Structure formats: structure tokens, C-alpha cells
Amino acid sequence: MQRNLLGLLVLLLAGCVLLAGCTGSTPATNGTNQTGLKAKYIIGLDGAYPPYSYAEKDGSFVGFDVDSARWIANKSGFEVEFQAVAWDGIIPALLAKKIDMVYSGMTITPERAAQVSFSKPYLKINQSVAVRSDSTITMDDIMAGKVVIGSQRGTTGEMWVQKELIEKGKMPATNLKSFDNFPLAITALTNKQVDATVYDKPPTVDIIRDKDVKIITEIDTNEQYGIAIRKEDTQLLETMNKGLDMLMKDPYWNELKAKYKLESV
């Protein structure tokens, strides 16, 4: 009887060891799984940046980048939450770990790449200049610094104005008016507070669709969009690159581009 009891105890102990060995496949207490990925990532975005990322009336976010991020997350086995952040503070928010990545039409630039890692490029775009429909302003007027230009603070459109017009002495710095988001710049344009705007072409086309505004030229800046990730988050960067590869090979990619009228991008 004592032998049988001892044998039973040995079997029970062995079973516990085996069960303990199986726990390695369960998520860690810090919210990561066996691949090192978290169960949920917070994506920072511009909440007024159609067709890439913008808020519906109910507060939910939609857009080309939003749908793309959800697709990649679903295929990669994690969830995503979207958080609107002021564009000129979005990289500081990423570095402060308030968000986990920026997936919202961010142009890859040397200045930004010095602070964060970028995924492989997923879209190419140019800047555009918009004026009121009845305006006679030309690109020659823009390059001569004769007009007041509105743009969104911290964007490559604003950077272009600073580099090509202000730093070269063609336009006084006071002729550049910066706004928290581009719809505010367009409102200033229609209200005659500025004479022109400089901004990414696809969002400009989208935002002025029902406005008395026209695009007079496209500036060939040949920019590339990428997902911004903290430099130490190498596993997440690898995962997002793989996700972009899968997405761009899937029919859903072209469906998204058609949905958001980005077929030519």
C-alpha cells in the first residue's frame, strides 16, 4: 500500500513537471507572446489626414493607413488601437512610449530617420500647391515669395517652404502660416487669410473636393511613406515589414487603393 502511494506521488510530480514545461507557449505577464510581440499596439496618427487617417463622426478612425494597419495586425496576431496625436509632436510621443508606432503617411526623411527606424516604403507621393478657384496666382509667384502660404505644422510641405523659399531668401518667414492640421489651412485659404497652401497631393485632392479651391501645380518631391518605429523595437519593425510584403502582394492592396482613390500613387 505504501509503495503504491509513493508511486502515485512520483507520477503526480512528473505530470507537474511536464505541465510546467508546456507553459512556455502562453503569453508572458508583460503582455508579450513567444515571438516578443505585444498583444496590442497603439498606433499614432494624424486624425485629420484623408484619405490616410481621419475620424468619423462617431470618433472611430478610418482611412487607407488605418485599414492597412488592421489587416497587418490581423495577419500578424496582435490588436491595434489608434490615437490621434498633433503631427509636430508625434515623434516625441513615439520616443516617450506614449504610442508604439506612427502609421499615418509619414514621409521618410534623414532628420526623422536619425530619431526612429522606418519600415520599407509603401507609397510614393509629391507635394501640391492649391489656391482659390478664382485666383490668378502662378507657381512663378510662389517661387518669387510674393504670396502668403499656409501649411500644416511639422509636415514636409512646410519643410519645403522653409527650405526652398525662406532659407533661400525668396520669401520672408512671416509669409508662412502654420496650422495644427491641413483642413484648418484650407479654411484659412477659403477665408482669404492665406493665398496658397502646400501639402501632400492625395490629401489635398481629398480635402478640396467640395471646396472652391484648385491645385495649380504638383511639386516633384518624390517622397516615400514609411511606418515609424522606435529604434530598439527591432522585432516589431521586422513584423511590420513582413506585413507590408504580405499586404502589397494580396489583392486587398489594390482594393484599398481603389477604395481611397490612390490607384495612381
Q: State which fold the 40-124+225-259 domain adopts.
A: D-Maltodextrin-Binding Protein; domain 2 (3.40.190)
pLDDT for the residue 264:
77
Is the pLDDT reported for residue 8 higher than 80?
no
**pLDDT given for residue 263 in this prediction:** 82
Domain ranges of the chain: 40-124+225-259, 125-223
How confident is the model at residue 265, as a pLDDT?
A: 75
The confidence band for 69, taking pLDDT boundaries of 50, 70 and 90, is very high
27-31, 136-140, 154-158, 225-229: least confidently modelled range: 27-31
Q: What is the mean pLDDT of residues 196-213?
A: 96
Reply yes or no on whether the pLDDT at 71 is more than 70: yes
* pLDDT higher than 90, residue 162: yes
**In the predicted model, what is the mean pLDDT of residues 39-47?**
97
Q: What is the mean pLDDT of residues 77-98?
A: 97
CATH of the structural domain 125-223, one choice from 3.40.190.10, 3.40.1230.10, 3.90.1150.10, 3.40.50.300? 3.40.190.10
pLDDT (0 to 100) of residue 169: 98
What is the band of 184 on the pLDDT scale with cuts at 50, 70, 90? very high
The answer to whether 40-124+225-259 and 125-223 have equal CATH topology is yes
DSSP states along the chain: -HHHHHHHHHHHHHHHHHHHHHGGGSPPTTSB-TTS-BSEEEEEE-TEETTTEEE-TTS-EESHHHHHHHHHHHHHT-EEEEEE--GGGHHHHHHTTSSSEEEEEEEP-HHHHTTSEE----EEEEEEEEEETT----HHHHHTT-S-EEEETTSHHHHHHIIIIITTTSS-GGGEEEESSHHHHHHHHHTTS-SEEEEEHHHHHHHTTTSSEEEEEEEEEEEEEEEEE-TT-HHHHHHHHHHHHHHHHSHHHHHHHHHTT-TT-
